[in-house]
Chains A and B, each alone.
Chain A
Amino acid sequence: KAGVTQTPRYLIKTRGQQVTLSCSPISGHRSVSWYQQTPGQGLQFLFEYFSETQRNKGNFPGRFSGRQFSNSRSEMNVSTLELGDSALYLCASSLPSGRARMQETQYFGPGTRLLVL
C-alpha cells in the first residue's frame, strides 16, 4: 500500500498570507490527524477528522482549520500567517477504531515544511 502523502513538501509564505496543506491517507484509512512540530514545542496535536467530521481539536487558535473530503483526503488551512507558524506540519492516518475512544496506530506522512517570512 502507498503511504500517507503530503503536498507540498516545502512552502515559503509571508506574514499575513494564508496557506493550504494537503494530505492523502493510506487507502482504506478514514481517520486523519494533523500535528505541528517545532523545535521549541515539539509535536502538538492540531485536529482529527473522521468521515468528514472534525472529531477532536487541539489547543490552537481559530486561524488553524481543516476539512476532510468524502475520499478521506484532508486539507488544513492557516490564515493570517504569523512568524511562529513556521513549522513542520505532519499528517497521520489510521483505521477507524473498533472500540470507543481507542487510538489506532497512526501512520505518518513525510510532512510539509512551512517557512513564514
Chain B
Amino acid sequence: AQRVTQPEKLLSVFKGAPVELKCNYSYSGSPELFWYVQYSRQRLQLLLRHISRESIKGFTADLNKGETSFHLKKPFAQEEDSAMYYCALHGGADGLTFGKGTHLIIQP
C-alpha cells in the first residue's frame, strides 16, 4: 500500500528564515509526487509536482528515491506563505494519497 507521511503537524518560522516541510513516502514502484497548498478560505490547489522540476512562489522540491522523500523548501519565508501544505503521491490505481498536512505559520 502506498503511504505519505508528513511528520510535522505545525511548523512556525520567522519571515525571512528558510523553510523545509518534510514529506516521506512508501511505494514500491515509481511514484509521482505533488505538493498541494490550501491558503486560508481558499481551495486546495496544486503548488508543484516533481516531474516539472520547477520553482513555484520560490518553493522547490526534489524527489529523493533513496530516502523516499520529497521535502518542500524555500530559502526565505514570506508571510503570504502561511497555509496548509499537503504532500501527495500518485501510484496508479489508488488515486492520490495525501499526507495529513503541515500547517505552516510565518511569523512577522
Given A90-B44, A108-B43, A109-B43, A58:B94 Cβ within 8 A? yes
Q: Are B96 and A103 in contact (CB under 8 A)?
A: yes
Residues of chain B whose beta carbon lies under 8 Å from any beta carbon of chain A: 32, 34, 43-46, 49, 86, 90, 92-101
Q: Are A3 and B86 in contact (CB under 8 A)?
A: no
Residues of chain A whose beta carbon lies under 8 Å from any beta carbon of chain B: 3-4, 33, 35, 42-45, 47-48, 56, 58, 90, 92, 101-103, 105-110
Complex interface: chain A residues within 8 A of B49 (CB): 105
Q: Are A108 and B44 in contact (CB under 8 A)?
A: yes
Q: Are A106 and B32 in contact (CB under 8 A)?
A: no
Given A43-B86, A108-B45, A109-B43, A102:B32 Cβ within 8 A? yes
Interface Cβ pair total, 8 Å cutoff:
46
State how many angstroms separate the Cβ of B91 from the closest Cβ of chain A: 9
Q: How far is the CA of A92 from the CA of B97 in the complex (A)?
A: 14
Q: Are A103 and B32 in contact (CB under 8 A)?
A: yes
Q: Which of A44, A47, A58, A105 contacts B46 (CB 8 A)?
A: A105
Given A101-B92, A103-B32, A42:B43 Cβ within 8 A? no
Q: Report the nearest B residue to A90, measured CB to CB.
A: B44
Complex interface: chain A residues within 8 A of B46 (CB): 105-107
State how many angstroms separate the Cβ of B79 from the closest Cβ of chain A: 24
Max chain A Cβ within 10 angstroms of own Cβ: one of B34, B94, B99: B94
Given contacts A45-B96, A45-B97, A47-B95, 17 further A-B contacts (CB under 8 A): A4-B43, A33-B96, A42-B98, A42-B99, A42-B100, A44-B98, A45-B94, A45-B98, A56-B93, A56-B95, A103-B90, A103-B96, A105-B46, A105-B49, A107-B45, A108-B44, A109-B43
Q: How far is the CA of A78 from the CA of B34 in the complex (A)?
A: 29
Complex interface: chain A residues within 8 A of B99 (CB): 42
Complex interface: chain B residues within 8 A of A101 (CB): 92
Q: How far is the CA of A42 from the CA of B5 in the complex (A)?
A: 11
Q: Which of A45, A105, A110 contacts B95 (CB 8 A)?
A: A45
Given A3-B43, A105-B46, A33:B95 Cβ within 8 A? yes
State how many angstroms separate the Cβ of B77 from the closest Cβ of chain A: 24
